[in-house]
């Protein structure tokens, strides 16, 4: 979603857009491989301008399909997240290190006559993916020996053996 900054009236501009499944590869443009896919992405936002600063806020709604961290089946994660950004003109680069505050994370930069919102929308979607995505809360995962999906069936592997290096700990008594 690219917005020409000259078309934004003083009272702001409300936008609604639906992106299909083919949108994700166009945002990445071959820069990174992702291990998830998206259903259609619904974007609803409002952009206002004050001088050369733009205020963008709205919501993103989609569904993420990603492999479960335990069993590798597809996990489905619904996303409905509000977002807010303050867009300011890109300044000349500075080489000094600056510590960012929480408020700084809501800032982004634009160059030229257009504001490209697609990377900001993609960022909001990626932030909703948990470190360990699960297909369900009680996912039992895969058997470490035979690789059977323990959610579908139990395996005939013997109980876990104790690591020989830790067997000596069995002899210790707790007081």
In the chain, domain spans = 2-138
| pLDDT score for 44 | 92
Mean pLDDT, contiguous 10-residue spans, the chain (175 residues): 77 85 71 76 88 86 91 91 83 58 60 78 87 91 86 81 73 64
Q: Are the C-beta atoms of residues 79 and 60 closer than 8 Å to each other?
A: yes
Q: Which of 86, 63, 92 is nearest to 76 (CA)?
A: 63
Q: Are the C-beta atoms of residues 26 and 2 closer than 8 Å to each other?
A: no
- Name the pTM for this structure: 0.72
| pLDDT score for 101 | 58
Q: In 121-138, which positions are buried (b, 16+ CB within 10 angstroms) versus exposed (e)?
A: bbebbeeebeeebbbeee
| pLDDT score for 42 | 92
Q: Are the C-beta atoms of residues 18 and 41 closer than 8 Å to each other?
A: yes
């Amino acid at each position: 979603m690219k917005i020409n900054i000259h078309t934004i009236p003083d009272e702001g501009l409300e936008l609604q857009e639906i992106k299909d499944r083919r949108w994700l590869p166009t945002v990445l443009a071959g820069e990174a491989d992702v291990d998830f896919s998206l259903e259609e992405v619904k974007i609803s936002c409002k952009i206002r301008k004050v001088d050369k600063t733009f205020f963008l806020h709205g919501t993103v709604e989609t569904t993420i399909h990603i492999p479960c961290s335990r069993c590798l089946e597809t996990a489905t994660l619904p996303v409905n997240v509000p977002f807010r950004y303050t867009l300011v003109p890109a300044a000349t680069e500075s080489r000094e290190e600056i510590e960012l505050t929480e408020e700084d994370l809501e800032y982004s930069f634009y160059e030229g006559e257009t504001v490209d919102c697609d990377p900001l929308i993609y960022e909001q979607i990626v932030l909703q993916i948990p470190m360990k995505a699960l297909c369900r809360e009680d996912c039992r995962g895969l058997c470490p020996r035979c690789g059977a999906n323990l959610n579908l069936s139990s395996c005939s592997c013997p109980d876990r053996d104790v690591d020989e290096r830790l067997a000596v700990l069995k002899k210790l008594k707790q007081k």
